[in-house]
Amino acid sequence: MASIFLRSLVFNVLFYAVFVILAIVALPTFLMPFRAMLAVGGWWASASLFLMRVVCNIKVEFRGAEKIPKGPLVIVSKHQSFWETFGMLHCFHHPIFILKRQLMLIPVFGQFLTKIGMIAIDRSAGVKALLDMTRRARNAVRSGCQLVIYPEGTRRAPGAPADYKTGFAQIYSACGVQCLPVALNSGLFWPRRTFMRYPGTLVVEFLDPLPPGLPKDEFIVRVRAAIEEATGRLVEAGRREQEQMIGAAPSYVGPNG
């Protein structure tokens, strides 16, 4: 575990150093088309995946990429880690994320997110926030973007009970496009609320797309069933791998999940 602690420390120093350098590099792109900023975001993702592999011995595997539909799309993903913020950037042509408003307040980074069209939600605003988010999401998808939604609203530790909200179904209905469910096990390797990074194979699995126009109740049931079954399978496999690599898989589920 001492080796993992040291690797985690080195990784975090390098990760944030790269973040700061690229934030400076990105400054001129504020005067350029948004695709210039997306390119810098892609560099960040690639550099971070490289550091994860070389420093922390975390391999990243994307499964089912051939299932990703072309064109505008709603992506409904499990959310276990900060890793999802950048890890899937290069998987889509123009991904737009629905993010908590606090991220928009980070200097430079927040302006970067605004420039490329990320959608912030103020959770304290209730129904008004949902209506505004739905309108902006619909406009983004109609312009050809791929919208990424975390249906549980926040990060959930591996093994924590699922807590799907209903707002993502409203957005799906309003957008009128296919939905791509995504399962993953990132929380085993990049846990929330700690700087520790654990070795193993982080897997992202793109599942079978769902057609547009499903009734909301049916859509929620099908999305939840698909994501939770696949996520449970990926987490179980990841834990077995960790037990082989470091002796005992870390426990990530706290009293609040």
Q: In the chain, what are the domains? A: 60-246 (3.40.1130.10)
Residue 224 has pLDDT above 90, yes or no: yes
Q: 149 phi and psi, to 5 degrees?
A: -120, 140
**Non-local CB neighbours of 106 within 8 Å, separated by 6+ positions:** none
Across the range 103-117, mean pLDDT stands at 78
Across the strands, what pairs with 23? none
**How far apart, in Å, are the Cα atoms of 167 and each of 103, 179, 219, 256?**
20, 14, 12, 22
pLDDT of residue 109: 76
Residue 62 has pLDDT above 70, yes or no: yes
Nearest to 204 by CA among 87, 56, 75, 53: 87
Distance CA 217, CA 204 (A): 26
Residue 108 has pLDDT above 90, yes or no: no
Cβ atoms within 10 A of the Cβ of 27, count? 12
Across the range 84-91, mean pLDDT stands at 88
Across the range 158-167, mean pLDDT stands at 93
Mean pLDDT of the chain: 89
Residue 129 has pLDDT above 80, yes or no: no
Beta strand 200-206 with 58-63 is parallel
Across the range 182-200, mean pLDDT stands at 95
Residue 207 has pLDDT above 50, yes or no: yes
Sign for the CA dihedral angle at 50, 51, 57, 61 comes to: negative
Distance CA 80, CA 202 (A): 12
pLDDT of residue 254: 45
**Non-local CB neighbours of 199 within 8 Å, separated by 6+ positions:** 4, 56, 57, 58, 189, 242, 245, 246
